[in-house]
Structures are given as structure tokens and as C-alpha cells.
Chains A and B, each alone.
Chain A
Amino acid sequence: MPERAARTRLLLLATRLLRRDLASGRLVVMLLAAIVAVASTTSINLLVTRVERAMLAESSALLAGDLAIGTRDPTPPRYAERARAAGLDTARTVTMRSVVAAGEALQLVRLKAVDDAYPLRGELQLAPRVLGPVSFERSGPPPGEAWADARLFQLLDLAPGDRITVGERSFPLTRVVVLEPDRGGDVFTLAPRVMINLADLDSTGLVLPGTRASYQLLLSGPPAALEAFRRALDVPPGVSVTDPSEARPEMRAAFMQAGRFLTLAAFAGVLLATIGIALAASAYAEHHEKTVAIVRTLGLTGRETRLLLGAEIALLAVLAAALGSGLAWLVHSVLLEHLLPASAAPLTAPPGSALLHGAWVALVVLAGFALPALMRLTRLPVVVVLNRDRAALPAQGLRAALAMILATALIAPWHVDDARLVALAFAGMMCAALVLAAAALVLVRALGRLRTRTRMTWRFGLASVARRARLSVVQTTAIGLGIAVILLLALVRGDLLGQWQARLPADAPNQFLINIQGDEVDAMHAFLRDEAGVEAAFYPMVRGRLRAIGAAPVDPDAYADPRSRRLADREFNLSWATHMKADNRLVAGSWWAADAVGEMSVERGIAERLGIGLGDILEFSVADDRVRGRVTSLREVEWDNFEVNFFVVTTPELLAGTPATWITSFHLRRNDAGLMARLVERFPSVTVIDVDALMRQVRQVMGRVAAALTWVFGFALAAGALVLLAAVQASQNERVLDVVLLKTLGASRRFVTLATLTEFTLIGLIAGLLGSGGAVATGWLLAERVFDMPYLPDWRIPLTGVVSGVLAVGVLGVAVARRTHRQSVVASLRAST
């Protein structure tokens, strides 16, 4: 028959086989396992991607655009021209330090000139007067007007409408800037800020050749156009490119860690589901020996048989992808919309790529774990149809093992930025499977020897385990792995949530007070104690620019990475201390003694970026002085816990004579809003930074992730249950014959139930023991080698594993016994011929 017609007929035949096999229940476990694999991975993908995109959208607002190109000279016009040609919107800003005058008073400010298109993303928060009602605007000051933050009004004792002189030009101060979107991470900048229209900048006469200014070209537009523009962008030294992913580090750090864990947990669930698929496929293949032999006798060629089986698996994959993606959609929608309040940021459309990935997972897990088992059927001699006895299917060999490893590698979440962790999880699972199989083999054989010393029902149960030794080993290994993965997920989930809650408690600081003068510290301390009931800790803060690492002067342009360039080019907040803060962790070197001098401690991340190592002498310029010290320790700092922290801390004497201000943080209760007004009135030079809204968002993300973890855990449990079902299904045909034989010989219902219960309880016991051992060993490995935490052995883990193994498998045993009882002896004997 013509090739195309033949293929169509095979596809129709495959569809019919699939329909019938699903209806008869033979493919249901395999389908459910594939659905769990797809739903688990897709729901987490959808959730992570959508929340990440929402956060990026929020971060874009913090950047005032989707991308910012920064230069120290006027931005070359080619960038704006290319951006406009690519369909992107542009806006320009120029920022510089300057001095403004109001009458006789002078004040150093950070002057920012913005064009009419600014901001491209986000809004300016403005007030008509200090502490006045806040309104939101999508544009900067019109030409001829200046806006300033509350600090300038307070420092120069100004009121709206008063005039300030900027360079050669006078402006009326018309609005108070409460927050500008692209102030971003620069909230600790000390100088007050003044904003004017870019059209007025030239008339101030401030921009002269050699003027130190930062020029920014902000861009926004469709993601694809932005990506294409960014790919084609040349970034010579002196040019920096910032995208929203670099904004909001504390929020992103919390979410990225959670996203990574969720993805890995979902992957563990998928691996569990693949065990179910492999077991179910093996049982399916054994059940279909005769069917395949019949169609081959009727004239189906070997190639056509492979096509038929391949098509059936492909169709099953399509079904699993559709149902799994549907379930994933439902789950992630529940997580996003119902379990928690909607995010402040609007959610973008769901990414098609996450759904496509679901289809890919379905196809790969079924092709890798089910197809090799089915393909054995094509190697079965056709002449088996004439044999009275069942022919043994060829064992799954090296090729099948390779297919499974390849499939696992293809669906592994390599996109999480810790490939080592993925590889470790993958290798760990493989090793655990081998160790569990070896241990199961030993235990199954040992049980076989016990049977002569036991009562009749136990003897029959033990004999069943020992007689189907290969299958018993596969069953106990699979169930054991399932128990291990579920225990491990439960453990890590509890630990992770506990860590987060500890990191961001309900009373975490939500108000930062900066620019506190040394002589205000005691008064401020007393004020906070009396008015807010808090014993606040105060830290000195000194602005300094890194000048040299060892003998080499720091040249920002020498760093290839734009972020490192920016860090090398900016001023650091330095501090001094005699003791390391409790929330810091020493990762190299040692903290100094109380009487030590000339030592510095550097945060690990910045040390790596700037190439600073233990023993290096760092030189900072602080005001007009130079401060030099040796790096004697590196610290890890949790930036996502909202505590005051510093990149560089020195021994006290190094910064003692420098112009320092102080910083503190405390938790402001919701009903204490009036407190801040009193504080600002009492300490007018102090700057208040309110991070309560930001913290609420971080908490929301954590809550969302905690709920997602519960779902992932639920998927893993479902996958574990399917492994159990598949393992039972694998021996069901033989078991029915055994029971039929026993009933024919006059065995009572009680005897059969007890014998089956014995067999399943033993398998559950071995699997529980092995799974618990696996979970404890892996937990220890993860704690010691990956999370770098002390491992505390918990006797409840093995107990839970063994009890759940015995109960789950035992209950299933009773269900199986009841089901086999319902089968008629005659029908079973007829079906077995």
C-alpha cells in the first residue's frame, strides 16, 4: 500500500489501541504518571516565569525604563537613533552633583535633568508640600520649574514657590518629590535631590567640558525588539547597560532562591513519575506480547510495528501534555489568583514556552521511559503465537538504560543557574537507585530463606516475594526511591520555609533612618525607645571610593563586566565595628581581635566581582583622606533580610577621624504612622526610608512560594502513589493466576488476603527501610555539601518512612486481594490461556 496511506492506517490503529487500552485501564497509570510529570514541571515553570516577569515589570518601573545606557559623556546619538529605528521609546536624563543656593544658604545636591519623555516606566510620587498628600505623575518638571525632595526643603527651610538658584539660573520650587522611579537602589544617597527639565540644563551653565556627569538613555518597548537591540549593542569601556533584572536585588534574591528550589523539587517529582512510567510500561509490554505477535502474524512488518508502538506513545504524550498542561494551568492560576492576594504588579500573559516545555516533557519521559519497554515487543519472535507457554520478553538492556539517562538529561532543569546542583540531584538519584536495588536484592534473598520457618500464610507471602525476586527488587527499589524523594522533599521544604520565616520575621525592620549626626545618636536612641518601644542599634556610615587594591589603582574601565565597572566606579558605604554582626557569616579569614588595627572585612560577592582577596591592602578615599587596611576576612551577607549591612567594615581606628553619619533601622507598627511625622519634626536633617511596601511584596512572594511548595509536594506524593500502583500492576497478571490456583485448590478468602497482605507488607517494610536510609543519606549530603548547614539526624525520618511504606503498600495489598477475589476462577483461567 502506498506509504502515506499505510502511515495513516497505522495512526488510526494506534489511536484505536490507545483508546481501548485507556478504557481497559492498562494505560491509565502510565498516562497519570506522565500527566503528573507535565503538571508538576509546567505549573512551576508557569509560576516562576510569570512572577519573575511581573517582578521585572516592577523593576522596570524602578529603572524608569526597560533598559538604561549610561555614559560619562553625552550619550552618543547613535544609541538613540538605533533604538528609535528598532521601534523603542527613548528618554534622556543627566545627573550631576551641584550646589544650589537659596538666599545666603548653599547646599550640595544631586541634580537631575530629565526630558519630556521621562519616565518611560513607573511614576513619580509628588506632593504639593512636605508630608503633603501624594499624587502620581507620568512626567518630570516642565521647563522653568524645579522639583526637590523633602530633605532640601527641610535643610534650606524652603516652602513651595520659593526660588533656588542652580548654576546661573533661578527656578521656583513647585513640587516635593516623594519618590522618583529610577532612584532604585540609591536610596542611601546623602545629598538632597533636585529635578529640572533637560531643556533648562544648558541655561544653568553647569555642563562644561570636563564636568563630571552621568548621562542616561532610557529605553522601553516590546521584549523582542529590546532583546534584538541589546544583542546588537556595542558596549565599549565607559558605557554601562542596566536592565531591570539588576534592580531590586533583595526581592530577586529571595525569589530566585525559591524558584531554584521549586524547579528542583518539581524535577524530583518528575523523576518519581518516570519510575512509575517505566514500571507501567513494563507491565503494559508484558500484557501486550500476544497482541503484537498477532498483528505481526497478520502481516505487520517490524518497522510498521515500531511505528505503531511509537505512534501510540506519541498520542499518549499529546494527551498527557494537554491534560498535564491544563492541570498545570489550573494549579498555577489557583496559586496566583486565589491562594494569595493579587500582586501589585500586573501579571503578563502566560508564556507559551512554558506550555511547550510541558509537551516536551511528556514526549521525552514517555519516549525515554516507556518506549524502550515497548520496543522489546518488536524483538519477540513472531512464532510465539504458536507456543502454548508465554515467551519471555527480552530484558531491557544497556540501550534502555541509556535512553532513560538521556531522557532525564533532556528534561533536567539546566536553566536554573546552579547546574552543579542539578547534576548532583541527577547523579544522586542514579546512585540511590543502584544502592537501593543492591540492598533490595540482598533483603529479598534473605526473606526467601526465612520462609521454611514460618506459618502457612507467611510462607506463601514470603515465597511470593522470593519467587518473583527480580520484580520484587524492582518494586522495592521503585517504592523505596519514592519514599526517599517524598521524605527528602518534606524535610527540605520544612527547613527552607523555617529559614525564610527566621530571615524575615514579622517585626523585621521596615524603616531606615540615615544621615543621623554623631551628636544625635543618643537623643534618637532615647526617642525610639520612648516613642516606638524599640532598642535600635546604630551603625556608623562613611562614604568612600575604592582607589587601589594592593599596589594597583582601581580603574573601572579595566573590568569587563558592566556591573563590576559600576561597583568600582561608585562610592561605598563603609562602616567600622569591633564585633561582626550576628546575621553575617565568615567565609574566609578570621574576624579581628578587640585591639586589632588596620584590618578590613569585605562582603564575599563584591570581593569576587572586584578581584579582592584575603591579604590585599585596600585604599579608599574618604573626604580628603586616604584610608588603607588589609583584608583579613570575607563575609557572606544576607541582603534579603532588610538588616543594615555594609560591603566593607573596618577596625574602628581606621575611620574614627572621618566625617561619619549614623544609620539605624527599626520596625514601625502599622498604627504608628504619626510617629514618623514627630521624628522628622524632631530630627529634620535625618532621612527616613520606608521599605514596608517592599517587604510586604517580598512576604507575598514567600507566601506564594510556600503554597507552590505544597503543590509540588502534592505532585510528588501523587507520583509516589502512581509508582506504588505501577509496581503492583507489574505483578498483577501473575498474582491473579496465583490466587485463582489457590482458590481452585480450596484456599479460603482469609488465607488469600493474609498471604497477599504479608507479601505487600514485606515489600513495604523493605522499601520503607531503604527509602528512609536513602533520605537520611541524601539529607546529610545536601546539608553538608550543598547548603553548608549542620545536619541534625532525626529519628522521625526512618520511622515515618517505614510506617508509611508498610501502611501504604499494605493497604494497597488488601485492595489488590479484594480485587482478585472478585475475579471468577473460570474467567481467569480462560483469560490466562
Chain B
Amino acid sequence: MSKSVTGPQGELRILDDINFALAPRDRLAVTGVSGSGKSTLLGLLAGLDTVTSGRISVLGQDLAQLDEDARARLRRQHVGFVFQAFHLVASFTALENVMLPLELKGSGDAAAVARDMLERVGLGARLGHFPRQLSGGEQQRVALARAFCTSPAILYADEPTGNLDAANAEAVAELLFDLNEAFGTTLVIVTHDERLAAACPRRIALAGGRLVA
């Protein structure tokens, strides 16, 4: 696959001829310096953006053949996300944030499942807290609970420890891999964190939009 954008200086190629395949339960780390195209790749894999040329197949579905709404439905049913900036809904409590994907998916017992998940990530006592009342580490644990609560087939994590101190980063990484194991999820992590990358059996590196390793 390739991705390019056209700007005032002409066409800029962000990803160039990237090619790889993942099997169920694979755990892949995508590394590279800033501006190497890691986040763009993640956006393409999640169907948040579209390729300029080539093809991305997720769970047997060619993303290019799906319109934006169909890609949204695919994410709703099969994909989970964890972001560097946590991206919790500021006006929702921890519980409501975790309930959100369950409700969108049509789960009948969203509150119960969300409560279980929050207890599982150690936040059973913080259900009614708003994101601003939680530390960075706690917010990312809520984000993990939200990502895994729908038992997604694939989970995309964009620098999940990038905004955390070392101790919190370690705790969150441990939790991420534990949940990944427990739910049997295929995991794609974009990271600068060598320790996090090292914990992934598969690894690719990007430089200037090209696959270098």
C-alpha cells in the first residue's frame, strides 16, 4: 500500500510500498522516528483514512471497497483503540466512557460489562470519576478497558505509553499485554518505546515512509 498527499509543494509520499500480513493473535510493533509514517499507517489500517494506491484487507474485507460508514461499522464490531492522548470523552465518567463502544455495538448489558472491565483494570472504585479527576495512568487504564470491553478481533494502540511516566508506562504496558492475552486479540502497537516494541513477537520499522525492517 502507499499513501501520498498533495500540498503546495506538490505530491508528498507519506507511505511507500508497505506490505505485510498479520495472522489472528499476532502482536506487531511498528517503530520509527517522528514523521516516519507510523500514525498514518495506523490510521489506514483502522480505516480512518484511505490508501492512495494498493490494498488493505482486514478480516477478509477490502477496506477500499467499503465506504466510510461501512468502515465505521467494521470498527464498531471488530476493532479497539488506545491512543497516546487517552481520548476519553471529557464529559463522561469512567464507567460511561467504557460503556460507550458497548452501547454503540448494541450490547444489552453495557453497564455490567463496563463495570467488570474497570474492576479488572483496577479502577472499580473510580467508576463515577470524570477524566479530569483521574491521573494520566488511570485515564489510560480506562482507555484500555474501553478498548477491550467489546472483545475486539484487532486492537490498535498509538503510542499507548507516550504520555506516561516510566512507572505508569510499565504498568499500562503490562496491563495491555495481559488483556491482549486474555482476549486473544490481534495487536498492532505504534511506539517509540523499545521495551514495548521488544515485547512484541513481530516488529516492523519505518523510515521516510518506507519499510526498513
Name the one of A12, A382, A830 contacting B48, with C-beta atoms under 8 angstroms: A382
Q: Cβ of B96 and Cβ of A295 under 8 Å apart? A: no
- Selected interface stretch from A17-25, A221-229, A439-447: A17-25
| Bound CA span A423–B2, Å | 56
Q: Cβ of B101 and Cβ of A833 under 8 Å apart? A: no
Name the one of B42, B75, B90 contacting A298, with C-beta atoms under 8 angstroms: B75
| Bound CA span A293–B96, Å | 17
CB of B77 within 8 Å of the partner chain: yes
- Which B residues lie within 8 Å of A344 (CB)? none
In the complex, the 9 A-B pairs of residues with the closest C-beta atoms, listed nearest first? A299-B76, A1-B106, A20-B91, A301-B69, A383-B48, A299-B75, A301-B72, A383-B43, A386-B39
Q: Cβ of B83 and Cβ of A386 under 8 Å apart? A: yes
CB of B87 within 8 Å of the partner chain: yes
Name the one of A291, A304, A831 contacting B132, with C-beta atoms under 8 angstroms: A831
CB of A134 within 8 Å of the partner chain: no
A sample of 18 inter-chain contacts (CB < 8 A) reads A9-B103, A9-B104, A13-B103, A20-B96, A291-B91, A297-B81, A298-B81, A299-B77, A302-B68, A303-B69, A304-B72, A382-B72, A385-B81, A385-B83, A386-B83, A830-B136, A831-B132, A833-B163
Name the one of A24, A300, A387 contacting B91, with C-beta atoms under 8 angstroms: A24
CB of B13 within 8 Å of the partner chain: no
9 extra interface residue pairs, beta carbon distance < 8 Å, beyond A290-B90, A298-B81: A9-B103, A20-B92, A291-B90, A295-B89, A298-B104, A300-B72, A300-B104, A302-B72, A382-B49
Name the one of A5, A383, A388 contacting B106, with C-beta atoms under 8 angstroms: A5
Q: Please provide the chain A residues from 1 to 59 with a CB less than 8 Å away from any CB of chain B in the complex.
A: 1, 5-6, 9, 12-13, 16-17, 20-21, 23-24, 26
Least Cβ–Cβ distance between A322 and chain B, in angstroms: 22
Least Cβ–Cβ distance between A746 and chain B, in angstroms: 26
Least Cβ–Cβ distance between B133 and chain A, in angstroms: 10
**Closest chain B residue to A17, Cβ basis:** B91
Q: Cβ of A295 and Cβ of B104 under 8 Å apart? A: yes
**A-B pairs under 8 A by CB, number:** 96
Least Cβ–Cβ distance between B89 and chain A, in angstroms: 5
Report A380-415 CB contacts with B as 1/0, cut-off 8 Å.
011101111000000000000000000000000000
Q: Which of A20, A23, A24 has the most CB of B within 10 A?
A: A20
- Answer whether A386 and B76 are a contact pair too, CB < 8 Å, given A294-B87, A298-B104: no
CB of B126 within 8 Å of the partner chain: no
Report B136-153 CB contacts with A as 1/0, cut-off 8 Å.
100000000010000000
- Answer whether A300 and B132 are a contact pair too, CB < 8 Å, given A21-B91, A290-B87: no
Q: Cβ of B89 and Cβ of A12 under 8 Å apart? A: no
Report B30-50 CB contacts with A as 1/0, cut-off 8 Å.
000000000100110010110
Q: Cβ of B89 and Cβ of A294 under 8 Å apart? A: yes
Q: Which of A291, A297, A298, A301 has the most CB of B within 10 A?
A: A298
CB of A296 within 8 Å of the partner chain: yes
- Which B residues lie within 8 Å of A381 (CB)? 48-49
- Answer whether A386 and B106 are a contact pair too, CB < 8 Å, given A16-B92, A20-B91: no
CB of B64 within 8 Å of the partner chain: no
Q: Which of B48, B74, B132 has the most CB of A within 10 A?
A: B48
| Bound CA span A524–B12, Å | 103
| Bound CA span A831–B101, Å | 23
| Bound CA span A44–B178, Å | 65
**Closest chain B residue to A16, Cβ basis:** B96
| Bound CA span A26–B92, Å | 13
**Closest chain B residue to A26, Cβ basis:** B91
| Bound CA span A827–B131, Å | 11
- Answer whether A298 and B68 are a contact pair too, CB < 8 Å, given A20-B92, A385-B48: no
- Which B residues lie within 8 Å of A20 (CB)? 91-92, 96
| Bound CA span A386–B90, Å | 17
- Which A residues lie within 8 Å of B100 (CB)? 13, 295, 298
| Bound CA span A293–B100, Å | 13
Least Cβ–Cβ distance between B50 and chain A, in angstroms: 10
Name the one of B49, B76, B83, B106 contacting A300, with C-beta atoms under 8 angstroms: B76
